[in-house]
Amino acid sequence: MTIQAAHADFGPEDEQLRVFATCAGRFSATMEFQWMFDGEGSEVTQTQRDNMVQLINAIMPTDHARDVLSWRIASKSAHAALLTRAAFNDDPYDANWAQNQATRLIRECTGLLLS
């Protein structure tokens, strides 16, 4: 007997929800990284993450909660890996590349929020 994991097949109308969830994950990773290096900055990032979560909650159908959490966790993990690669890398070129990618990705997310 084969057991297949249930996975929702979302259409393009759910892309906004996926983007918001991805950004919430990125903000979480950034905030936790800032706890080590930039305590005050983490407070700003926490507010941004909280605002993104409010957007998620405003548009998320209740049956999508598990998928949204999965997207957030995957995004947080990927962004944390970039930040770690940028900070603890012996290759300055690669560290710079990782930092630039992390900065670009977080800017895409902050661009979605009202200031």
> 56 and 17 in contact (C-beta within 8 Å)?
yes
Is 3 within a domain?
A: no
Q: How far apart are CA 95 and CA 14, in angstroms?
A: 34
pLDDT category of residue 9 using cuts at 50, 70 and 90: low
Is 76 within a domain?
A: yes
Is 49 within a domain?
A: yes
Is 40 within a domain?
A: yes
Of 13 and 80, the structure prediction assigns the larger pLDDT to 80
Is 50 within a domain?
A: yes
Q: What is the dihedral angle through the alpha carbons of 44, 48, 54, 56, rounded to the nearest 10 degrees?
A: -150
pLDDT category of residue 84 using cuts at 50, 70 and 90: very high
Question: What pLDDT digit, counting tens, does each position of 30-77 carry?
Answer: 999 999 988 788 999 999 999 999 999 999 998 999 999 999 999 999
- pLDDT score recorded for residue 11: 64
> 82 and 98 in contact (C-beta within 8 Å)?
yes
Number of domains in the chain: 1
DSSP class of 111: T
Whole domain around residue 82: which residue ranges?
15-110
Closest CA to 22 of 58, 49, 61, 57: 49
Please state the pTM of the whole predicted model. 0.87
Does 6 score more than 80 pLDDT?
no
Is 56 within a domain?
A: yes
- pLDDT score recorded for residue 40: 85
Is 66 within a domain?
A: yes
Is 44 within a domain?
A: yes
How many CB atoms sit inside 10 A of residue 38's CB? 14
